[in-house]
Every structure is written in C-alpha cells, then in structure tokens.
Amino acid sequence: MRAFIFIFICSLFMSGCGAAESDTHSHASLMIDAHERCHMCGMMVKQYPGPKGSLHLKGGELQPKFCSTRDMFMFALQPENRRQVETLWVHDMAATDWQYPDDEHFIDATKAWYVYGSNRKAVMGVAVAPFSTLTAAEEFARQYGGAVFKYDEITLELLSTD
C-alpha cells in the first residue's frame, strides 16, 4: 500500500515535467487589449487592418504587441533585440479577417509561411502576411501578388526593399 501511495505522489509531482517552453505561455497573454499601443511605433494596435504580432522577451514580464507583423519583425530582427526574443506570435491570415484579425488565431511565427509584397496593405505599408500552411500562403500570393517566404527568410534587408 505504501508503494502505491509513493507512486501516486510521485506521479503528481512529475505530471508537470517535460512541458515544452512554448506550451507554458497562456493564450490569454497573447490577447491584444483594445487600448494597447504598438511597441515599435506607438500606434493603437487594434485600430488598423492586417496581421498583428506579439512576442515574449526572455527573463521578463514584457510582452510587446505590434500593430503589424512588419513592425514586429523590424523590432525582433534588430541585433540588440534578437537574442532577447523568446517566442513570436502572428495572426494566421487564412483563419481570420484581414480588417479585424481575431487573437484566437495567433500561431507560432517561426512555423508560419509569409507573403511579402502583396497589394493587401497593412497599417505600416507593405504587409508581411503570415499563414499556417504553405498552401494558404501560395493561394494568397496568387490572389494578391507577392512572394512566399519561410520565417528564416524574413530579414531586415528584405523589409527595407519597399
């Protein structure tokens, strides 16, 4: 009987072990408040169309939100910021409305596909439109123009070409 109790207690303590770091962030922390301002430019995030971004910085409670994925990348790709970024989140534009992106459709930015150079504009000009699948990104590019990129192909040089 004591062995059973010991195993039961050990299983309670171990139930939280092994959770991936990305799994520890609550979806609620990604939600963008109606009065939240863009960390990069200070504009009201929710007042403008197009995909938004949110990120978590290492070792802190700061969770910057951005009025566009372009602003998020412009911040996150800066050498002084790059090593501080723990996770990045973007709206899946295949699952949400362009004019009013729903925060329930945030996806891991490192796993997304992006269309850059389309004729769909966001608050800061040329949109960096994220999608959870390559097929959705290719369909968007066929319909609105632009080129498809993987996460690691989005660079400061690319974003400064418009």
| pLDDT for res 27 | 53
12 versus 100: the higher-pLDDT residue is 100
At 73, list the tokens. 């990348």
Burial class (CB in 10 A: 0-12, 13-18, 19+), 128: buried
Residue 13 has pLDDT above 60, yes or no: no
Residue 8 has pLDDT above 50, yes or no: no
At 25, list the tokens. 């962030």
3-state secondary structure of 87: strand
Distances (CA, A) of 2 to 9, 12, 95, 102, 143: 11, 15, 52, 51, 66
| CA pair distance 108, 82, nearest whole angstrom | 16
Provide the whole-model pTM: 0.80
* pLDDT digits 0-9 by tens, 93-152: 999 999 999 999 999 999 999 999 999 988 878 899 999 999 999 999 999 999 999 999
What single letter denotes the amino acid at residue 16?
A: G
* pLDDT digits 0-9 by tens, 69-95: 999 999 999 999 999 999 999 999 999
What is residue 134's DSSP assignment?
H
